[in-house]
Amino acid sequence: MDWQALRLSLLLAVATTVLLLPVGVFAGRWMAESNFRGKILLEAAIATPLVLPPTVIGYYLLVGMGAHSPVGVWFTELFGRSLVFSFSGLLIASVLVNLPFAIQPAQRAFESIPQDVRDAAQCCGMTFWRSLWAIDLPLAWPGVLTGLTLSFAHTLGEFGVVLMVGGAIPGETKTVSIAIYDQVQSLNFEGAGSMSLLLLLISLGLLVFANVLGRYAGRLHAYRNV
């Protein structure tokens, strides 16, 4: 068992989830409420990581964040080190790849709040922030949490993007999925097996949790329409 890789994966998953929490909430709410020209295009762009091969996403991120890219140059000037093949680069890639997992369930959850409930909140004198905190989030939290759970689980298991953007630097970019690949390459099936089993159990547990949340959200929605 490569504990260092597991620790790094968990750290990456937690950091990704924490960064995606405000993104999921605000982007999800904004997408749910807004109706603008180009919305379909934006929704498609956000969903792209779901259908694109991870190596393709990884390639674009590698090029986009590489030492000669504007972002890469800016990062190097600011921090004195390269963005790619670093934990920071991996975190940015992870956040971008997980956008659809975080935003889509949150968007659906905010969309399920009836317009007249939002209207009533405004007529009660609620500001944007109070309405978000007191009405929208309590009603949409199962969706938001489902999104974050999926992002967490997906980050733990991500392989292609991690390999392209991060490589396999122990303690920096070598996550558990890369470690499993390494173990198989070196014919250590016992080590690969134990890590795979652990990932399987964690993912299964998280998906069960996400499903339970989804059902709760469904009940909440039915309850709302009494």
Partner 1 sequence: MPAVSMPIAMSELIVRLQQESPIPMDAELRCTGGQLLALVGPSGSGKTTLLRALAGLVQPRHGYISCSGETWFDSAAGHYLPARKRRVGYVPQHFALFPHLDVLHNVMSGMLHRAPETRVAAAHDLLERVNLAGLESRKPGQLSGGQQQRVAVARALAREPQVLLLDEPFSAVDHATRERLYGELAMLKQSLSMPLVMVTHDLREAMLLADEMCVLHRGRTLQTDKPLELVARPVSADVARLVGIRNIYHGEIAGHAPEHECTQLRFGSIVLKTPYRPELVPGSRVQWVIPSDGVVFHRRDRPSHTERENQLQGIVDTVHKLGEITRLAVRMEDEDRSLLWLDVPSHLARRNEIAEGVTATVSLTVAAIHIIDSTS
State the nearest-atom distance from the C-beta of 216 to partner 1, in Å. 12
Residues within the interface to partner 1 (CB under 8 A): 114, 116-117, 119-127, 130, 134-135, 138-139, 220, 223-224, 226
- What is the closest distance, in whole angstroms, from the C-beta atom of residue 133 to partner 1 in the complex? 12
Closer residue to partner 1 (CB): 59 or 221: 221
Shortest reach from residue 222's CB to partner 1, in Å = 9
**Nearest residue (CB) to partner 1, 130 versus 215:** 130
Report, in Å, the least distance between residue 41 CB and partner 1.
22
Query: Considering beta carbons, is residue 15 or 220 the nearer one to partner 1?
Result: 220
**Min separation Cβ 144 and partner 1, Å:** 14
> In the Cβ-directed half-sphere of 59, how many Cα atoms lie within 13 Å?
5
Q: Which is nearer to partner 1, 182 or 221 (CB)?
A: 221
Judged by CB, which is closer to partner 1: 18, or 124?
A: 124
